Chain A
Amino acid sequence: MTNTQFQQLWVCFGQAVSKHKDELNQLDAAIGDADHGTNLDRGLQQVLEKMQAASPATLQATCKLVAMTLLSTVGGASGALWGSGLLAAAKVFPDTDTCDDKTLTQAIQAFVDSIEQRGKAVVGDKTMLDVFVPALSSLAQDAEPITVVVPEIAAHAKEWAEATASLQAKKGRAAYLGPRSVGHIDPGATSSALWWQCLGRIIGGSV
């Protein structure tokens, strides 16, 4: 992946969250406090502005800029998770313009490890991990090149997010609802699916 592609990923994600902002807020209203779309959108618009102003030249610099911006503008659990996850990924990305497939997988692995640690959540808790973990395991296991694998993952991402509807929340504010959280799709998993759909488009070459 190149630095340009990585920056396109954030532009794509910013646009996607903006477009689905109300839908994310509505999902959050059912089991949380109705601000997931608003918060993530506020942070991502800042990311796009800062990326344009600073035009970071390497993958590591871009990742760090995105991490620090989300950490200081999103707030809530999402800001802490996306921010600390991307800071961990930035340590894996090289300070150069491009990285190989293996490094990209390792960076995503570092992201997932970090949010598992920070959020103390596991798969099945009805969180963003219910999209990121199956996506990462497909990516890590598949022998095909990522130009094939990532678009396949992207095609499944929405299903994984929607499958959180049947889960009872164990982490985050939705956990307080107990069994009443069942039947609602997790907003964090939904925005995570949007991220993978963007990665699929960028890596697959359709952006």
Chain B
Amino acid sequence: MKKIMNSPDTLVAEALEGLVISFPQYLKQVPGTHVLTRATPKPAGRVGLVSGGGSGHEPAHAGYVGYGMLDAAVAGEVFTSPTPDQVLEGIRVADHGAGVLLVVKNYTGDVMNFDIARELAEAEGIKVATVVVNDDVAVENSSFTTGRRGIAGTIFVHKIAGALAEQGASLEEVEAVANRVIAHVRSMGFALEPCTVPQAGQPTFTLADDEIEMGIGIHGEPGIERQKLRSAHELAQSLLEKIAMDLPLKAGDHLACMVNGMGATPLLELAALAREVSLWSKSHDMPLDVVWTGEFMTSLEMAGASLTLLPLDDTLRTLLAAPCDTPQLRQGVHHD
């Protein structure tokens, strides 16, 4: 294992300090916690948004703390849900009198720890609503299991719900729009190379030179199927077909797409994948209104990518295009 760190035990705490040092105009740390919040708090009366989860997914989630997106991000250990007391600190700092929306990715640990935190916050009289993102189509959705995982589609939820919260909408309205995104956003990813959890020191799975792991999550866990490496064209095709079938999509649907790198994939390759998405959408008569290409929700130094599609209506398109100003995402900032 080769990583830039002093020790696996201090990596998360040191990185949080480093994020504040790197983005002081956006972020400050709630003292004594693993919670990063806005350097300039949102005005009173607006709904607060809190997300979080294990570390190792940077820029998620602290990278999305700022105007038009999150109010606080709670970081756990690498790939480990944060604890309820930490989430509670995030809720407290994000509450500006209009309640707080928790955006949780659908993992057993995250769901339980955020639930306990919500119970604690409600006992303090803070109004809290929770939405659970489950965009990963690789995992079969069955009511008898844990259900689908939450992956990169979560960032579209941050963006859209965050934009509505900034306009002064009520907690119920912000929750409803978040759930509307969740109902329609779908993703799927694959790995070319595994990642190594700092505490473990060994990769969580191994792949031969010509193998990929299809349907991976974002925690270095194995995916659903091992396959032979294929061309960018074929990879995009198989992910998009699976996503389109799940939704289902139809000709004429307008789409937002996220081409997300897993941590060690060059922009060169992500851009090639973005081109394939565009070709696919043209051939299926589904206009691509929005394309985000880059690293949004990573899995340490895993090589690979995920694709996310979100069919847009007028409301979702407007909120997705609304201004935001965060360490990772800046749009609608006007020049002379």
Contact = CB atoms under 8 A, between A and B. Distances in A.
A164 interface: no
B107 A173 contact: yes
A138 to B, nearest CB: 27
Contacts of B197: 33-35
B294 interface: no
B188 to A, nearest CB: 13
B221 A35 contact: no
Contacts of B220: 33-34
A73 interface: yes
A75 B34 CA distance: 12
Interface in A164-207: 170-173, 175-178, 180
Interface residues of A, number: 34
A76 B146 contact: no
Given A33-B79, A178-B224, 9 more contacts: A25-B199, A25-B200, A33-B80, A35-B200, A39-B77, A71-B85, A76-B80, A173-B107, A176-B221
A84 to B, nearest CB: 6
Interface of B: 54, 76-86, 107-109, 112-113, 115-116, 138-140, 144-146, 149, 197, 199-200, 202, 204, 217, 219-222, 224
A5 interface: no
A172 B204 contact: no
Contacts of A72: 83-86
Contact of A76 (B109, B204, B221): B109
Nearest to A118: B112
Contact of B200 (A29, A80, A178): A29
Contacts of A38: 199-200
A25 B108 CA distance: 18
A163 interface: no
Interface centre among A34, A79, A84 (most CB of B within 10 A): A34
A177 B78 CA distance: 21
A99 interface: no
Interface centre among A77, A170, A178 (most CB of B within 10 A): A77
Contacts of B80: 33, 35, 39, 75-76
A74 B146 contact: no
Interface of A: 25, 29, 31-35, 38-39, 42, 71-81, 83-84, 118-119, 170-173, 175-178, 180
Contact of A77 (B77, B112, B145, B224): B112
Given A29-B204, A35-B197, A176-B224, A75 B77 contact: yes
Contacts, number: 115
A109 to B, nearest CB: 20
Given A33-B204, A76-B81, A171 B116 contact: no
B145 A175 contact: yes
B82 A75 contact: yes
Nearest first, the 5 closest Cβ-Cβ pairs linking A and B are: A80-B112, A77-B109, A76-B109, A34-B200, A75-B80
Contacts of A80: 81, 84, 109, 112-113, 115-116
A90 to B, nearest CB: 15
A11 B255 CA distance: 56
23 contacts: A29-B202, A33-B80, A33-B197, A33-B220, A33-B221, A34-B200, A34-B220, A39-B80, A71-B83, A72-B83, A76-B80, A77-B107, A80-B84, A80-B112, A80-B116, A83-B116, A119-B108, A171-B145, A172-B108, A173-B109, A173-B219, A175-B145, A176-B217
A33 B198 CA distance: 11
Interface centre among A29, A75, A84 (most CB of B within 10 A): A75
